[in-house]
């Protein structure tokens, strides 16, 4: 059902005018204590007081739905926070693979040789972090986060033949593994072109991880019902919260 797009200030004022004391001139915002309760997140309790006057069971059920939806958002925010940590670890491991210059894992020694063990360890770390992100992303209920994670998996699928040629493959759950023997026997110049060079799979993963992190931050902001100044935020803005009460 379409929400009531009332100005927030007017709708809130209407609600609290029904809760004010016997003094006709006293506003709820005159009380610093009550105002701070709005800032700290007590709006739902006040709304429940107002709507509890009704004996309508459907109204009470919808009020409970509101409470549960807020709790779900808080629980999902915890999942997103954990996913965010994994994405940050993934980004760090990608940065190591795409680093250029003397600090690059692909830098050659004085004889012009690559340090295959060093490269393998960096790739193994990347794969571990990649898999953690995929696993955690599947546990979230956010469509935007899932889409961003799917784009990263699709990127891997597109490069799957090249990856397989150096020993990196994906299973049915999109988890990556690396065959050490195959990898160590690979031409490290080829590995570099796939994971380090500009425009490579490695560089495109930087974009993927950034988009996942952006989606996470956006969803975590949505988990807040209203801002610290008492205004509704994100999907609760413009009266959408009251869709549950209509």
Please state, in angstroms and rounded to a whole number, the distance separating the CA atoms of residues 169 and 167: 6
pLDDT at 9: 45
Name 192's Cβ contacts closer than 8 Å, sequence gap at least 6: 106, 114
Query: Residue 74: its pLDDT value, please?
Result: 64
Q: How far is CA 59 from CA 6, 43, 75, 191, 233, in A?
A: 20, 17, 25, 62, 23
**Rounded to an integer, what distance in angstroms lies between the CA atom of residue 140 and that of residue 223?**
13
User: On the CB side of 54, how many CA atoms lie within 13 Å of its CA?
Assistant: 13
Supply the pTM of this predicted model: 0.64
pLDDT at 140: 85
Mark the ranges of the chain whose per-residue pLDDT is less than 70: 1-75, 223-246
Nearest C-alpha neighbor of 126 from the set 209, 41, 186: 209
Q: CA–CA separation, 240 vs 244, rounded Å?
A: 8
One-character DSSP codes across 58-111: HHHHHHHHHHHHHHHHHHHHHHHHHHHHHHHHHHHHHHHHH--GGGSTT---TT
Give burial (CB, 10 Å; 0-12/13-18/19+) of 55: exposed
pLDDT on residue 210:
95
The DSSP bridge partners found for residue 168 are: 178
Alpha-carbon Rg for the chain, nearest whole angstrom, is 26
Residues 37, 220 contacting (CB under 8 angstroms): no
């Amino acid at each position: 059902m379409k929400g009531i797009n009332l100005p927030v200030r007017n709708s809130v004022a209407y609600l609290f005018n029904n809760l004010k004391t016997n003094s006709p001139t006293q506003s709820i915002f005159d009380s610093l204590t009550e105002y701070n309760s709005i800032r700290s997140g007590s709006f739902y309790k006040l709304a429940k007081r107002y709507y509890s006057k009704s004996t309508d069971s459907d109204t009470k059920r919808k009020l409970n739905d509101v409470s549960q939806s807020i709790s779900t958002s808080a629980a999902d925010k915890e999942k997103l926070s954990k996913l965010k940590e994994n994405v940050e670890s993934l980004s760090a491991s990608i940065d190591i693979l795409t680093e250029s210059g003397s600090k690059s894992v692909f830098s050659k020694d004085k004889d012009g040789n690559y340090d295959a063990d060093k490269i393998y360890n960096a790739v193994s770390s990347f794969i571990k972090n990649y898999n953690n992100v995929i696993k955690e992303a599947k546990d979230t209920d956010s469509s935007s986060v899932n889409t961003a994670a799917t784009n990263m998996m699709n990127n891997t699928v597109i490069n799957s033949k090249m990856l397989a040629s150096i020993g990196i493959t994906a299973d049915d759950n999109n988890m990556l593994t690396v065959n050490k023997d195959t990898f160590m026997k690979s031409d490290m110049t080829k590995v570099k072109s796939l994971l380090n060079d500009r425009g490579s799979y490695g560089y495109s993963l930087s974009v993927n991880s950034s988009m996942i992190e952006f989606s996470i931050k956006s969803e975590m902001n949505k988990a807040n019902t209203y801002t610290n100044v008492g205004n509704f935020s994100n999907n609760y803005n413009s009266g959408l919260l009251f869709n549950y009460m209509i």
